[in-house]
């Protein structure tokens, strides 16, 4: 009888831990969700604007994006297509961590549903800039709507408060 009471007592001690661990596995509202990526599946047409380092001026060119489901709900496969510059075409994947706190291994700073219903996801990461030879923080802002999608990359160099746009993709779903 004493053994049964001890076993019951030990089980009761660990039961709340199991419940807490189960809740911790659920994505928080600020984390990226598989349904966010699912909105991107399809064909998109738009533009890429980037900072031309030779002129220090923005340059815009046509861009298309084709997005297909990945190997699971946490991944999509995509292709950037540049009609005027086919050598610049590229394939990539977007992966979210199971917890939703990382997008392509980059820390998710925020996930917000905007007043117009679009989802805005912001990631940040630090690195040493190859051109400036300084430490910098890259901020990538994804804004996902049913018919519009944009990805903007900004950089902030160490010791400054200013953010500079590196590139901005804007698309309409076709």
Spatial separation of the C-alpha atoms in residues 122 and 68, rounded to whole Å: 22
- Looking at domain 2-173, its CATH class is mainly beta
Average pLDDT across the chain, whole number: 86
Q: Which residue has the higher pLDDT, 90 or 13?
A: 90
Spatial separation of the C-alpha atoms in residues 72 and 97, rounded to whole Å: 12
Please, are residues 166 and 59 in contact by the beta-carbon 8 Å criterion? no
Tens-place pLDDT, residues 154-167? 999 999 999 999 99
Residue 11: the pLDDT is 36
User: Structure pTM?
Assistant: 0.80
Domain residue extents for the chain: 2-173
Q: Which of 5-9, 62-66, 105-109, 149-153 has the lowest mean pLDDT?
A: 5-9
Q: Does pLDDT of 29 surpass 80?
A: no
CA distances from 107 to 98, 116, 154, 159 (A): 13, 25, 15, 21
């Amino acid at each position: 009888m004493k053994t049964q009471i001890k076993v019951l007592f030990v089980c009761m001690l660990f039961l709340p831990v199991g419940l807490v661990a189960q809740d911790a596995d659920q994505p928080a509202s600020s984390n990226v969700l598989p349904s966010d990526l699912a909105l991107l599946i399809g064909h998109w047409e738009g533009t890429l604007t980037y900072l031309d380092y030779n002129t220090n001026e923005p340059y815009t060119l046509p861009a298309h994006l084709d997005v297909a489901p990945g190997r699971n709900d946490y991944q999509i496969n995509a292709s950037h297509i540049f009609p005027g510059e086919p050598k610049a075409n590229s394939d990539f994947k977007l992966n979210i961590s199971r917890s939703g706190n990382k997008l392509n291994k980059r820390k998710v700073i925020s996930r917000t549903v905007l007043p117009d219903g679009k989802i805005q996801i912001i990631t940040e990461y630090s690195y040493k800039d190859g051109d400036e030879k300084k430490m910098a923080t890259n901020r990538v802002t994804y804004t996902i709507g049913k018919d519009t999608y944009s990805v903007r990359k900004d950089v902030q160099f160490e010791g400054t408060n200013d953010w500079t746009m590196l590139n901005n993709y804007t698309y309409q779903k076709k």
